[in-house]
Amino acid sequence: MDLQKGRLRQGGLNMSKMGRKITALMLALLMATSTCSVGLAAQEQVGSIGTAVSASAGDTVTVTFDSQGGAELAPVETTAGSTVLLPENPSKPGYAFKGWYTEPNGEGSLFYIDTPVTESLTVYAYWEEIPTGIIDEQPSDNFYEIFVRAFCDSDGDGIGDFNGLASKMDYLQDLGITGIWLMPITESGSYHGYDTVDYYSVEQDYGTMEDFENMLDEAHAHGIKVIMDLVVNHCGSGNPWFRDAITNPETSPYRDYFKIEKSTDYDEDKDNNATDDAHSGNKRVWQQWRATPGYRYLGLFGGGMPDLNYDNPAVHEEMINAGQFWLEKGVDGFRLDAARHIYGDYLDTMYTPEIADKNAAWWKEFRAGMEEVNPDVFLVGEVWEENTDRMVPFVQEGALQNTFDFSLASELLEVAQTEHNGNFVSELCEVFDKFGFASNGTFEDCTFLTNHDQNRTMSVMEGNEDHAKTAASLYLTLPGNTFIYYGEEVGLQGMKPDQNIREPMPWYESNEGEGLTDWLNGKNKYSLGGETSVEAQVDDPDSMLNHYKELLSWRNEIRALKDGDVAEYDTGNNGVASYIRMTQDDSVLVATNLTGNEITVEVKPDAEFGSFSKILKKFSVDTVSKLEDGMLTIAPYSTVVLSGDVKPGQYSVAYSKNVKLSVDGEEQKLANLIGLYTADAEDGVVTLEFVPAVEGKEIAGVLVNGESVDFDDSAVFTYELNPSEQMHTTFAFTVVDKRVLRMTLETAQKALDEADKDAMLPAVLEAMENAIAAAQEIIDNPTATQTEIDQAWSGLLDALHCIDFVKGDKTYLEELVAIAEQIDLNEFTSAYNEEFNIAFVDAQDVLADENAMEDEINAAADALEQALLGLVRRADTSELEAVIAKAKGLNLDEYIEAGKAEMAQALEAANVIVEDRDATQEDVDNAAITLTEALAAMRKIADKDALRALIASMETVDLSGFTAKSVAAFQQVLNTAKAMANDAALSEDDQDKVDAMSDALQDAYNSLEKKETTTHNSSSGSSSSSSSNKTAFTTATAVAITAGQSVGTSSAVRSVISDTTLPFALKRGSAYCFKMTVTNGSTVMPSFTVGNGDVFKTQFVAKIGNDYYFRIWAIGAPGQSAGIYTQMPGEAPQCHCVVTVA
C-alpha cells in the first residue's frame, strides 16, 4: 500500500479545502493554550476579578464554585498567579450552563481555564432557562445494524459479503427498514474491522469495491440509506502509517499521527488515571511495541489499535479526506466509533470544559468537511455515556447532530424486565429540551436496545419473549432514529465474549440453506436455527419478527410516531408506559401494558394536546384491547396507539352527545354530531350553552373535567371559558326524561281520590300512598337519575294495578295444605316432586298473606290439588332385593361358565331397577323373575378331584410288565378319563358320568394282564428237563373284615396314618375320600377295608408318593355304622375311625 495515499489525494484540493486545512492548524495551535476565544477575553479581564485580599506569588489560593442552584462542586486550590483546571460543568434541571462569572447572574467577568488566579475568590454559575412547550420534530429513519461477515454469504465460502447483503434488500424493505448501518467494511487486521489498515479500500473477505458500489445502488433502489462505521479515534497496528511511525520513531513523517513517547517504562500516573472504559476493556492505555524498545504509544483499546493524535492537523485532514472519499462513493453517512475519546483519555481531564470544547471543535470541523460533499450527511456518534449532561458538548451547536442514547436503552430494558413504568419519559423530555436547546434545534436522538458491543436483548431478558417484545414496543414508538441490531427481530440471543454476540444471522429453521454464513466454523452457541429463525417466524402472526414488522409499519405510516416530539402522559398505573407523540399537525397517544395482566385505565384529555378517543393501531393478534366511554383496556404485553382529536394550537370542548352546544349564541350543528368542538385558541372569554338534545328532557347532572358542578336550571347549562387559559375542557351531562312519570302520577292521584278506601286492602292502600309520595319526591329532585325516575314510575304502575283487588276465601286451600303436610315424598317417585314442592310452598305463602286475592287463592289451590293427584307411590322392591342378595352371595368359582354372563347381566339390570325410585312395580317384578331364572340356570362344576387323583396315580404305573392288549385298553380308558377331567363344561348334572369314569379307569387298571413268564429247572447229571408256566394277575380288591378277625390295637406300631381319625356321620348316598399315609417306608399299597360291606362300599382312588386315597359310599340304612381299616402285609388290620350313615 502507498504510504502517501492519504497525502496524494490532497494535491487536487480546491481553495475551500486548503482554507479548512489552515483553519485546522490554527485551531490546534489555539487548543494548546485555550479551547475557547472567551479565554483570551478572560485574560484581559483578570484585573477585575475578586475582592479578596491579594496573595503573594507562590501562596495557595482557593477558587470556590457557587453553582447557583445546580449540582454542588468542591473548591479548587492552586498557586497564586497560576490557572486552575475547571471542574466538570454542573447540571441543573431545566437550565443550560453558560459559564462561570465573577458575579451572580452572568455579571462581572467570565472565568475560564486560562484565567490567572491571584487571590482566593468565588465564581458563580450562569444559567439560561431552556424553553419548553415547543414541538421539536425529529425526522427519522429505521436503521438496521449489520455485521456483514455474519449476515449473508453469496459465494458459499461461509463469510457474509456485499453481494449477499444486496440480495437481502427485499427482506429489509419488507421489515420496514429505511437505513442500514454497516459495521466496519474497510480493510483491517481482524474479523471485526475496528482496526483499520486502509481507509480507502474494502475488506477483501466482503468482495470488491465494485461489489460494494453495486450493494449501495441496490439499497438506494429499495429506498434504504447506507451509513458505515468510520473508525477515526484509532487505526489498526497494521496500518502503514503506524508501522512506519513505530519502526522509525525518530525519522518517520507519521510519528505525530500517533502519541508516541520515548520511554523505557510505563508512566504509572497516566496508567492509573486512564479511562476506566468498560467498552474498551483496557485500563492500561500506554502500549509497547516489541520491535521498538524504548518507546511507547497510546492505545486506549489495546495494543492492536493505536490512538490517532488529533493535536496534529494532518490527522484532521486525513480523517476528513477518508470520510469524503466514502461519501463520494455514495455512502449516506457514518457511525463514528469511540466519538468521545478523540481528546481526553484520562479520568482527571476527560470531563473538563477544556476537553469538552476540544472534542466539540473537532466534530464541528469534521461535519463541515462532510457537508462539503453531502449537505444532508448523516452522522451519529458513539458517545457511550449514561450521564446525559456529559453528552451536551458533543451536540453543542450541531457538532454531532445524532448520538446514541445509551441511557435510554438501559432504562427501557429495565422497564420491560421489571414490568414497572419508571420515569424514563420525563427524563427523556428533559434530555430533548436540553439537547435541542444546545444544538439550536438540530439534535436527533438515536434509540436502540443493544448493539454489537453488548449482550443481546433476548439474553438480557433471560429468554422472556414477552419482555423483549415490550422493550421493542417502547423504543420503536419513541422519537429519533431507531437502530435494530441484526437478529434482534427474531429474538436471537447472545452473551459475551464478542464473537457470541455477532453470530450468523439465523435465516433457516434447519440452520441450513442458501446464504447462511458460517464464519465461526460451526461453533455457534446461539444461532442454531429452529424457532429463532426468519423461516420459522415469517408466517406466524404472533412471532417476534412480525411484532417488529408491525411496529415499523406503524412508524412508517404515522408521521407523529416517525418524526414527532414526545410529551409525558400519566395514566396513573405503573404497569402502563404512556406518552404523547406529536407534530405540528397531529398527535397520538401511545400506551404499552408492561405486565402479563389485562389493564384498564381512564384516558383523560391532556391539558395541552386534548383528548384521544379512537384506537388508531393495535397488534393484529390483539383481540382484547378496546376503548369504550373513555376507558382503555390493554391486552397483556401489548401496545395501542390512540389518535388525537385536536390539532396542536387549538382548544377543544368535548361533551356527551345527549346535549346540544351553542357557542356565543350560535348552535354548533356539526360539533353536536360528534360531541367535540374545536377552534383556534384566542385570548378572551367564550360563552358555552348546553341544552338537552331532546326537547322536554332535563339536565340532572354536570361534570366539568371530571368534577361535579352545581347548576340552577335543568333546561340549560351555561359555562364561560377562556381558551388561552383552559385549552381542553370535557363536559359530561346526565340528561333525564320525567314526562311519563308526571303523566302517571296524575292518573294515580285521580284514581286514589275516587276509590272507596274503606273497601281497599290495607296493603294496597299503603302501597298506593307510598308510590305517589315517592314519585312526587323524584319529580321535585333536580338531580334524580333516570334509573330513579323509572323506578318511581314502575312503583306507581304496580300500585294502580292493585287498586281494585278484594280479599278471597281460603277454606279449601287450608284443607289441601293440611293433606300436603302429611305427605312423605320418600314414599313416592320423583314424578311431580318438584311441582308438589313449588305448589306446597306457594300455597303456604298465599295462606300467610293477609292481602291475598281470590284469584291468587284459587290458583294456589288448583296447583296444589294437581300436584297431589300427580304423585305416584314407589314400587315394592323387597323380593327383588332378596334375590339380588342371593346372587351376590354366590361363589362363582364353583360354577361352570355357561350361564354366568346371563346371571351377571340380570344382576346388573336388577341393581339399576332397585336403585331407580321411579321404577314401576311391573319393572321390579320382571327384574326379580329374570334374575331368579338366571340363578336357576346356573350349574356347579362337577367334582373331579377323585378322578384327577386316580389319573395321577395311573400315570405312574409301569406298564412294561403287562400285555400289549391290556395296556392298549387301559390307555384308551385313561385318555378318555383325562379328556373328561379337562372338560370345563361338565357340571353337577354330569357328576354320575365323572364317577362312572373313575370306576371305568379303576376297572381298566384292574384288568391289566401281566406278561406270561417260564421257569427252567435242571439238575447236575440229568439230561432231562421239564418246564411249567405260571400266569400272575394283579387286581385291586376291597375285602370286608369279619368280626372274628384280629384288629391292631393302639399300642401296636402304626404303619399307616389316616387324615381322619374322629367318628363322623355320612349322608346315605354320599361319598367320602380318605388319605392314608404309609410311614414305614414300604412301597406296598395297604389294603383298605370296612367293618361291614353292607354299610359302605370302598374304592381305591389314587397313589401320590406314600399317600394313598380311598373312597367310601354310604349304602347302608341310616343309623348303621362301620369301622374304617387298613392292613399292611404281615401286620394286623388298623382301625382309623368309625363312620355312621345319616
**Which residue's C-alpha cell is 477515526?**
232
Residue 1131, CB-side half-sphere exposure with 13 Å CA sphere: 22
Please compute Rg for the chain using Cα positions. 57
**CB neighbourhood size of 503 (10 A):** 23
Write 267-272 long-range contacts (CB < 8 A, 24+).
Answer: 270/346
First to last CA, the chain: 132
3-class SS string, 1125-1142: EEECCCCCCEEEEEEEEC
* Coil, strand or helix at 703: strand
Cis-peptide into 116, omega within 30 deg: no
Sheet containing strand 110-111, edge to edge, reads 76-79, 60-66, 121-129, 95-101, 110-111
Query: Is 337 annotated as catalytic?
Result: yes
Which of 781, 152, 19, 818 lies closest to 516, judged by CA? Answer: 152
Q: Are 1075 and 1056 in contact (CB under 8 A)?
A: no
Tally of residues, the chain: 1142
Judge whether 1094 and 1116 are in contact, CB under 8 Å. Answer: yes
Active-site pick, 141, 337, 405, 1009: 337
Could you give phi then psi for residue 920, rounded to 5 degrees?
-80, 165
Q: What angle do CA 136, 137, 140 make, to 5 degrees?
A: 140
**In the block, which residue shows the cell 500500500?**
1
Contact of 355 with 343, CB cutoff 8 Å: yes
HEC string for 1067-1095: CCCCEEEEEEEECCCCCCCCEEEECCCCC
Q: Which residue has the cell 408492561?
A: 594
CA dist list (Å): 568 to 132, 433, 609, 616, 914: 13, 13, 11, 19, 76
C-beta of residue 111 within 8 angstroms of C-beta of residue 100: yes
Distance CA 1116, CA 815 (A): 77
| 885 CB-contact burial (10 Å; exposed 0-12 / middle 13-18 / buried 19+) | exposed
> CA–CA separation, 313 vs 309, rounded Å?
9
User: 934: which residues sit within 8 A by CB, 6+ positions away?
Assistant: 887, 899, 902, 903, 905, 906, 907
Is 213 considered catalytic here?
Answer: no
Task: Assess contact for 232 and 247: CB atoms under 8 A.
Answer: no
Do residues 357 and 392 touch, judged by C-beta distance below 8 A? no
Which helix (DSSP H) or strand (DSSP E) does residue 855 occupy?
helix 854-870
- Catalytic one of 187, 218, 307, 382: 382
Amino acid at 1090: V
Residue 66 makes CB contacts below 8 A (sequence gap 6+) with: 104, 122, 123, 124, 125
Kindly tell me the burial class for residue 171, based on how many C-beta atoms sit within 10 Å of its own C-beta (0-12, 13-18, 19 or more): middle
Residue type, 381: G
Write out 617-642 in H/E/C secondary structure: EECCCCCCCEEECCEEEECCCCEEEE
Cα 409 to Cα 176, 352, 423, 500: the distances in Å are 21, 26, 13, 21
Catalytic residue ranges:
337, 382
